[in-house]
C-alpha cells in the first residue's frame, strides 16, 4: 500500500495512469480471480484423465488464462523513469500472481526515429542489487528499496 501511495503522490497525472493500468490488468489478466474465490468453488480445470498438470497451471497463472473463455494476456511495462516503473511493477505483481517474476533490461539499438528509444543523453541505467529477493511482493512483508523523491513545493 505504501508503494501505491508514493506513486499517487508523484503527480496527479501518474494517479490517473496507475488507475488505468490496474483496471486493465484486472480486466484482461484474470489470474487473480482464483485467489478470491471460496475454497469450495475451484476454477482449476482438470484434464480429461483427471490429472493435475502443475506446468499448465503455472503457465495459466502467468498469462492470465483462467476461466471458460480462453484468453491469454501479457503485461509489458516500459518507461524512462526507473523509480516509477519499479514501483508500478511492484504494485502490478500483487495482481499478476505466479511463482517468480524476473526483471529483464533490454538495450535498444540507436535509432533516432524510434519512439521507444530516447536519445542516449536522456537515458539512465539502473542496476538491481545482488541481494534482491525473488517471488511475488504479495508474499513479502517489507517494501522494495526505492529511493524517495524529495517533495518540491511549487506553490511558494
Summarised one tens digit per residue, pLDDT across range 67-83 is 666 667 778 888 888 88
Judged by DSSP in three states, 117 sits in coil
Summarised one tens digit per residue, pLDDT across range 124-137 is 555 555 544 544 44
Q: Which residues contact 12 (CB under 8 A, 6 or more apart)?
A: none
Confidence bin at 155 (pLDDT 50/70/90) = low
Residues 82, 112: Cα–Cα separation, whole Å: 21
pTM: 0.47
Amino acid at each position: 500500500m505504501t508503494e501505491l501511495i508514493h506513486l499517487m503522490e508523484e503527480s496527479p497525472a501518474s494517479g490517473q495512469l496507475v488507475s488505468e493500468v490496474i483496471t486493465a490488468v484486472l480486466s484482461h489478466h484474470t489470474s487473480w480471480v482464483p485467489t478470491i474465490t471460496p475454497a469450495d468453488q475451484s476454477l482449476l480445470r482438470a484434464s480429461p484423465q483427471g490429472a493435475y498438470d502443475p506446468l499448465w497451471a503455472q503457465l495459466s497463472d502467468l498469462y492470465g488464462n483462467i476461466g471458460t473463455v480462453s484468453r491469454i494476456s501479457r503485461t509489458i511495462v516500459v518507461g524512462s523513469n526507473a523509480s516509477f516503473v519499479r514501483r508500478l511493477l511492484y504494485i502490478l505483481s500483487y495482481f499478476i500472481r505466479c511463482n517468480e517474476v524476473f526483471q529483464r533490461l533490454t538495450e535498444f539499438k540507436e535509432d533516432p526515429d524510434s519512439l521507444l528509444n530516447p536519445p542516449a543523453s536522456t537515458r539512465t541505467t539502473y542496476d538491481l542489487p545482488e541481494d534482491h529477493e525473488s517471488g511475488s511482493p504479495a508474499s513479502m512483508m517489507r517494501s522494495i528499496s526505492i529511493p524517495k523523491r524529495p517533495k518540491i513545493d511549487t506553490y511558494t
